Every structure is written in structure tokens, then in C-alpha cells.
Amino acid sequence: MTPVVLIAEELAPSAIDVLACDFDVRHVDGTDRPALLEAVAEADALIVRSATRVDAEVIRAADGLKVIARAGVGLDNVEVPVATARGVMVVNAPTSNIVSAAEQAIALLLSVARHTASASAALKRGEWKRSRYTGVEVQGKTVGVVGLGRIGVLFAQRMAAFGTRLIAYDPYIQPARAAQLGVRLVGLEELLRESDFISVHLPRTPETFGLIGEKELALVKPGVRIVNAARGGLVDEEALVVALREGRVAGAGLDVFVTEPITDSPLFGFDNVVVAPHLGASTVEAQDKAGLAVARSVKLALQGEFVPDA
Ligand code: NAD
Ligand code: MLT
């Protein structure tokens, strides 16, 4: 029988074409739980992005499942230990969308600094208000990068070109590596106290969830602007609302939320908060790279071949 590849979220057409040559490609809406549970029962491979929760229930419903492929970076929506215990391989595309994610963080940072999104919305409402939208320059400012991994590094390299002073908090990175990049490694408290802008580039893990919460937001330099294009909940949303209300945080750029999808939040009420519906990886280039990388890995896995890092 032809192996079944179940695609639970949008995947680049080029990747679907690759898979369709050898496999029975089926589609399901991964957020429709009953439909997912039914469809996965016949699947040999399951391909998801970030919206499908691949938990123990889904994995156990899939007797013939051999591989779960995450067309992107973060694996926080896949219960990897459960998959591994059942002999199901988990693959992702760890470099596919890192440039796009770094660029999205920069887009949000600049938009927060210059009120681009709110000024645009106001003008389209017929309001020509120049003084209301006076911004700040980033040149000469201190930018704190939380998580100096693949995306954090690309973000830092690009921010260096703006003439910023870069500091980072990442206990798993060697100071020499940071120094090579022109970034000074500091403790989290120092980063919070010194940064004019903070951008978070962490995976969501039990250790990082809520890393920037009430206590941390009490330590920030007044007027800091915060960007989170990594995962919802790394910056505690309730604490952020309070800090914005009190003016301690002057603005925020948020690509991700603790609950997704989300269409209403107290954060949406602030003129100085720019939001996006998890678009960090939503570029033509990133989707092609992610789709093709997982298509290749799925093909190798189903053919019983060695699957190298994508
Ligand atoms: P990475 O693994 O290369 O880097 C993560 C860095 O975080 C590492 O250097 C690690 O040492 C550091 N880190 C881990 N725990 C930490 C802690 N407790 N404190 C400080 N630093 C810590 O990952 P990456 O490719 O840079 O991606 C980071 C995250 O960005 C992904 O896990 C994903 O959740 C998110 N992401 C979001 C989008 C989007 O669409 N918005 C796109 C891609 C990735
Ligand atoms: C990722 O972790 O790769 C991002 O969340 C992007 C995505 O899959 O949409």
C-alpha cells in the first residue's frame, strides 16, 4: 500500500509536489481535533507547523505513524518523548525560517520605535497626527537579546548595522562566541536594567516560559520597548499589560501569544503595541525551505533511509 502522508497545516506547494510523487498525500485541519484524530489513524507521516497540537492522544491514535515532521523550528507543540517512546521519528527544519523570524523581529522593533502601524491605521482613519507619533531612533541605543541562538544571532548581526550597542543573556553560549559577534554577554538582571530594546529569541520550555514576568518587568529601564517574535508566554502577557499601563514599558511588538489563535486581548487595546498573527515564518522563502526540508526528511524516513539534519 502507498504510505499516507497527512498534512495538517498549510505547506508550500513545491513540497506537496515532491511528496505526491511517491505517497498518498492527504490534508486535514490540524486544529480540528476530531478530524485530526480520525485522519492520523491511517497516517504513516504527519506534517505540521505550529498550530497543530501533536500530543500523546494524537500520537497514540496513530498506530502506523513512523514520522512526525515539523515544517519549522519550534518543537513545543510536539510531545517528542511520547513519539520517541513509540518509535516515531520527529524531524524539523531548524534553519528554514530563521532569517524570516529575525527580520520579523526587526520589523516589529522598528514599528514600535516609530509607531509605524498605529500611525498608518490612524491616517487611514483620516487622522493626520504628526506630533502624536514622534518616535525614537535605535542608533546608539542598547539592545538586549534574550537567547543568542540561530535567530538571536541573525537579529543581533542586523541590529549591529543600525549602530546599536548589543548585549545578550544566554547561559548556554560561550562569552568568546558572543564577543566574536560584538555582543557582550550579561546576566538577565543586567540586560533588563540596561536595555532600551529587548528582543526575545528563546524556545518555549518549562525553563523559559514566563522568563520575563512581573519581577523582571519591575527591573527594566523605564521606557524599554520589548519584542517577542519567538513564542507566546516567554514574556508574561498579564505582567506586560500592567507594565504598559504604568508606562514602564513604552511599547511592545508581539508576533506570538500564549494562546493561538487569538483575536482579542487586553494587549490589543494599546496604541503602542504592534501585533501580528504569528507571521515570523510566513514568507515565501521560509515556507519553501521548510516545506522542502521536511518533504525530503519524510521521504527518507518512509523509505527507511538515514535522515540527516535538515
Ligand atoms: P536556537 O535553539 O538556535 O536558539 C535558542 C537559544 O536560546 C539558544 O542559544 C539557547 O542557549 C538559548 N536558551 C535556551 N534556554 C535559555 C534560557 N533559559 N535563558 C536564556 N537563553 C536560553 O533556536 P532559534 O532557531 O534561534 O529559535 C528560537 C525560537 O524562535 C524557536 O524555538 C521558536 O520557538 C521561535 N521561532 C518563532 C518563529 C515565528 O514564526 N515567530 C519562527 C521561528 C522560530
Ligand atoms: C517555528 O517555530 O518555526 C515558527 O513557529 C514558524 C511556524 O511554524 O509557523
pLDDT, tens digit (0-9, with 9 covering 90-100), for 7-39: 999 999 999 999 999 999 999 999 999 999 999
Nearest to 102 by CA among 148, 60, 152: 152
Q: Please give the pLDDT value at position 78.
A: 98
Q: Which residues line ligand 1 (CB under 6 A)?
A: 72-74, 97-98, 101, 146-152, 169-173, 201-204, 207-208, 229-231, 255-256, 278, 280-281
303 pLDDT above the threshold of 90: yes
Confirm whether 278 is a catalytic residue.
Answer: yes
Assign 271 a pLDDT band (cuts: 50, 70, 90). very high
**Of the candidates 16, 7, 56, 64, the residue with the CA atom closest to the CA atom of residue 36:** 7
CB 82 within 8 A of CB 55: yes
Give which of 93, 94, 9, 88 is closest to 56, Cα–Cα.
88
Q: Looking at the CA of 202, which ligand is closest?
A: 1
Among positive and negative, which fits the CA dihedral 69, 56, 64, 36?
negative
Nearest CA to ligand 1 atom 4: 149
Residue 172 pLDDT > 80:
yes
Position 174 confidence tier, pLDDT thresholds 50, 70, 90: very high
pLDDT value at residue 250: 98
pTM: 0.97
User: Ligand 2 centre and the CA of 281: distance in Å?
Assistant: 6
| d(CA 151, ligand 1 centre) in Å | 7
pLDDT at site 309: 81
Q: Report the alpha-carbon distance of residue 41 to residue 93 in Å, rounded.
A: 24
Residues recorded for the chain = 310
Task: Give the residue whose CA is nearest to atom 32 of ligand 1.
Answer: 203
| Dist. CA 235 → ligand 2 center (Å) | 17
In degrees and rounded to multiples of 5, residue 177 shows phi and psi of -65, -45
d(CA 28, CA 35): 7
pLDDT range class, residue 264, cuts 50, 70, 90 = very high
In what order do the strands lie in the sheet containing 165-169?
Answer: 184-185, 165-169, 142-146, 197-200, 224-228, 249-254, 273-275
Protein residue whose Cα sits closest to atom 7 of ligand 1: 147
| Ligand 2, CB cutoff 6 Å, lining residues | 49-50, 72-74, 97, 278, 280-281
60 catalytic, yes or no? Answer: no
- Per-residue pLDDT tens digits for 109-167: 999 999 999 999 999 999 999 999 999 999 999 999 999 999 999 999 999 999 999 99
C-alpha cell, 198: 529587548
DSSP label at 250?
Answer: E
pLDDT at 310 over 80: no
Which of 165, 225, 278, 296 does the annotation list as catalytic? 278
For this structure, is 201 an active site residue?
no
Tell me the per-residue pLDDT of 76-93, one tens digit each, with 9 for 90 and over.
999 999 999 999 999 999
Instruction: Using alpha carbons, list the distances in angstroms from residue 212 to 41, 105, 226, 236, 240.
Output: 40, 17, 10, 6, 9
Cis peptide before 261 (omega within 30 of 0): yes
What the block records as the C-alpha cell of 81 is: 518523548
Say how many Å lie between the CA of residue 74 and the centre of ligand 1.
8
Q: What is the mean pLDDT of the chain?
A: 98
Q: What is the pLDDT of residue 308?
A: 87
Is the torsion defined by CA of 251, 254, 257, 258 positive or negative?
negative
Alpha-helical segments (H) within the chain: 13-20, 33-40, 56-60, 80-85, 98-114, 116-124, 150-160, 175-180, 188-194, 214-217, 237-245, 284-302
The per-residue pLDDT for 59 is 98
